[in-house]
Amino acid sequence: MSTQYPSDEMIQRFAISALSKERKDEAVNEEILVGKYTGEFFIKSKEGVVLSTDIMNRYNASCETAIRIAKSLGMAGELYHLEFDNIPMPCNIEYETNIISTEPIRIENCKSLLFNFDFDEFDIVGSEIRQVSTEANVRLVVEVIAPNGFVTETLIEKSIQAINFSVLKFEGQGINIKSIEIIKDNNVFNNNAIDRTIILHNMFVSVNTL
């Protein structure tokens, strides 16, 4: 006995979409939310706290990687997870736009630091999303404050892969990280790509002080 299925044009569908995590304040307790750019799921608990095992697992893996790299490069200082009020991570980052939209990140008595960016980059080709491996750059603007109070502004630009393994050394009383931008790699492209987007999952910085 055979079973007949209706042809594609006869199938009628009803679809719903989970609320975007950016609208978490509007969600009711125990409602499911989704990261529209990342596909990660969240739930608003009975207590009203937004939770995601996807995010926690990624954070733990990113943290372990940042610690391992720092140790391999002799960075034995403090590890900080950088978060920003205007961009709850993971988030879609605009290229060539300063991630730091408020006051600069101030680090006192900084001898050296090491960034670690955990990111994914995708090209949108037709109706598909394809992960790409590029040499997108990080552009940093850092103020170095000398003991006499004299301030020198330094521009640092390296690929994300390179900066994750680059110990940045400074001589001064402290530093202000004024700007962090991601620069698109235009040398890598997919034919018929509509757009490229970068998702920043986590950003860590290891700091050695004087």
Q: Quick: pLDDT tens for 124-145.
A: 887 777 888 778 899 999 998 8
Place of tokens 């490069």: 73
Domain that holds residue 140: 76-209
Give the count of domains, the chain. Answer: 1
Residue 44 domain flag: no
Residue 183 domain flag: yes
What's the residue count for the chain? 210
pLDDT category of residue 202 using cuts at 50, 70 and 90? very high
Check pLDDT > 70 for residue 37.
no
Query: Given the DSSP bridges, would you call strands 128-131 and 110-125 parallel, antiparallel or unpaired?
Result: antiparallel
> What integer pLDDT is reported at residue 118 of this predicted model?
92
pLDDT category of residue 210 using cuts at 50, 70 and 90? confident
* Residue 40 in tokens: 């990660």
pTM of the model: 0.77
Q: Cα dist. 42→2, 99, 101, 198, 203 in Å?
A: 42, 24, 26, 20, 20
Residue 177 domain flag: yes
The 10 Å CB-count burial string (b at 16+, else e) for 171-199 is ebbbbbbbbbbbeebeeeeeeeeeebbbb
Q: Cα dist. 156→72, 80, 191, 195, 197 in Å?
A: 22, 20, 31, 27, 22
User: Would you say 35 and 42 are in contact if contact means Cβ atoms under 8 Å apart?
Assistant: yes
